C-alpha cells in the first residue's frame, strides 16, 4: 500500500512526473514513485510554514529517515519512508541527504551567492534525484544524466520564478532578459551534451529521464522570449506537451 500512497501523492502534487512515470514500465514505477514522493515531501517542507525553525525541523526529519535507511536498521513508520527503504541503498541515501541539505535555501529569502551557488543548487536538487533514479534502474554513465538533469532543473526553476517572486524571493542571480537568455541557453547546451552521451545510458536507466520531456521546449521558449519567464508563459500547450511525452517515450529521452 505504501507504493500506492506514493503514486497518489505524486499524482496530486507533481502531475508532470506522475504522467512520465506512468509511461514507464511497472518495474520502473516501483523505484520512481517512492523517489518522487520523497521529493514532493522534501520540496514542500520549507513552504508549509513561515517559521524557519519548523521548516528546518521538517527537513531534518527526512535527513534522519535517510540515515536510518542508509544504516540498514529499523526505520520509522511512514508510507513514503517504507517505500523508500525498499529501493534505496546506502549510496542513494547519502546522495538524497545532499538534496535535502540544498533545499535549506528554500527556507530563507537569501539570494544565491553567485552562479556557482545556483548551479550547485540545481545539481543537488535535480541532479541528485535524477542520477539516483537512473542508477537504481539500470546501467548509466553519470555525466550525461547529470547534464540532462541540469537542463531539466533549470527549466523547472524558470517555471517557478513567478511564484518565488510572489513570495518575496529574488530567485535568479541575473534576472535581466539577457541573464535569463544566457541561463536558458547554457541549460540547452547541457541537454545537447547529454544527447551526445546517450549511448552511455541504458534503456532501463533512461526511464528516470522521461520526467524531463518538457525541458527542451521550455528552455527554447526562454531563449526566444525571456520575458515569458515573468509571465509564466514558458510551458508548451497541454496537447503539445502530451504529444512530446508520447514521442519521448517511444523514441527516447534525448530528443
pLDDT tens digits, 74-85: 999 999 999 999
d(CA 137, CA 36): 14
Q: What is the mean pLDDT of residues 40-44?
A: 97
**Closest CA relative to residue 214, chosen from 165, 179, 247:** 247
Q: What is the pLDDT of residue 255?
A: 84
The string of pLDDT tens digits covering residues 79-110 is 999 999 999 999 999 999 999 999 999 999 99
In 72-141, alpha helices (H): 79-85, 90-102, 115-122, 128-137
**Closest CA relative to residue 18, chosen from 44, 36, 38, 45:** 36
Q: What is the pLDDT of residue 238?
A: 78
Average pLDDT, the chain: 95
Q: Are the C-beta atoms of residues 210 and 245 closer than 8 Å to each other?
A: yes
Tell me which DSSP letter residue 112 carries. P
Q: What is the mean pLDDT of residues 115-122?
A: 98
pLDDT at 229 exceeding the cut of 90: yes
Q: Are the C-beta atoms of residues 205 and 145 closer than 8 Å to each other?
A: yes
- Distance between first and last Cα of the chain: 35
Q: What is the pLDDT of residue 251?
A: 87
**Closest CA relative to residue 57, chosen from 95, 13, 100:** 100
| Whole-number percent of the chain with pLDDT over 90 | 90
Contacts of range 24-28, beta carbons closer than 8 Å, 24 or more positions apart: 24/207, 24/210, 25/207, 28/137, 28/204, 28/207, 28/208
| H helix or E strand, kind and range, residue 178 | helix 177-196
Q: Are the C-beta atoms of residues 39 and 128 closer than 8 Å to each other?
A: no
For the CA atoms of the chain, what is the radius of gyration?
A: 17
Beta bridge partners of 201: 140
Question: Is pLDDT larger for residue 204 or for residue 254?
Answer: 204
d(CA 84, CA 32): 10
The string of pLDDT tens digits covering residues 182-224 is 999 999 999 999 999 999 999 999 999 999 999 999 999 999 9
Q: Are the C-beta atoms of residues 96 and 40 closer than 8 Å to each other?
A: no
pLDDT at 1 exceeding the cut of 70: no
Confidence of residue 157 (pLDDT cuts 50, 70, 90): very high
Q: What is the mean pLDDT of residues 230-243?
A: 84
60 CB-near residues (< 8 Å, 6+ apart): none
Q: What is the pLDDT of residue 240?
A: 77
Amino acid at each position: 500500500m505504501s507504493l500506492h500512497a506514493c503514486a497518489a501523492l505524486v499524482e496530486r502534487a507533481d502531475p508532470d512526473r506522475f504522467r512520465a512515470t506512468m509511461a514507464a514500465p511497472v518495474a520502473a514505477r516501483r523505484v520512481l514513485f517512492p523517489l518522487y514522493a520523497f521529493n514532493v515531501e522534501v520540496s514542500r517542507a520549507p513552504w508549509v510554514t513561515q517559521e524557519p525553525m519548523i521548516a528546518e525541523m521538517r527537513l531534518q526529519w527526512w535527513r534522519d529517515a535517510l540515515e536510518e535507511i542508509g544504516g540498514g536498521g529499523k526505520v520509522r513508520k511512514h508510507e513514503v519512508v517504507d517505500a523508500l527503504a525498499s529501493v534505496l541503498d546506502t549510496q542513494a541515501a547519502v546522495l538524497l541527504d545532499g538534496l535535502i541539505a540544498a533545499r535549506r535555501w528554500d527556507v530563507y529569502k537569501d539570494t544565491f551567492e553567485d552562479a556557482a551557488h545556483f548551479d550547485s543548487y540545481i545539481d543537488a536538487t535535480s541532479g541528485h534525484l535524477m542520477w539516483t533514479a537512473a542508477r537504481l534502474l539500470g546501467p548509466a554513465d553519470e555525466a550525461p544524466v547529470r547534464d540532462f538533469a541540469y537542463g531539466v532543473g533549470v527549466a523547472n526553476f524558470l517555471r517557478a520564478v513567478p511564484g518565488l517572486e510572489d513570495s518575496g524571493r529574488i530567485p535568479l542571480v541575473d534576472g535581466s532578459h539577457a541573464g535569463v537568455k544566457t541561463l536558458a541557453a547554457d541549460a540547452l547546451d547541457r541537454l545537447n551534451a547529454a544527447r551526445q552521451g546517450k549511448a552511455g545510458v541504458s534503456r532501463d536507466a533512461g526511464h528516470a529521464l522521461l520526467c524531463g520531456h518538457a525541458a527542451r521546449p521550455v528552455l527554447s521558449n526562454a531563449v526566444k522570449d525571456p520575458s515569458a519567464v515573468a509571465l509564466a508563459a514558458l510551458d508548451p500547450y497541454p496537447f503539445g506537451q502530451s504529444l512530446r511525452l508520447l514521442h519521448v517515450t517511444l523514441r527516447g529521452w534525448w530528443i
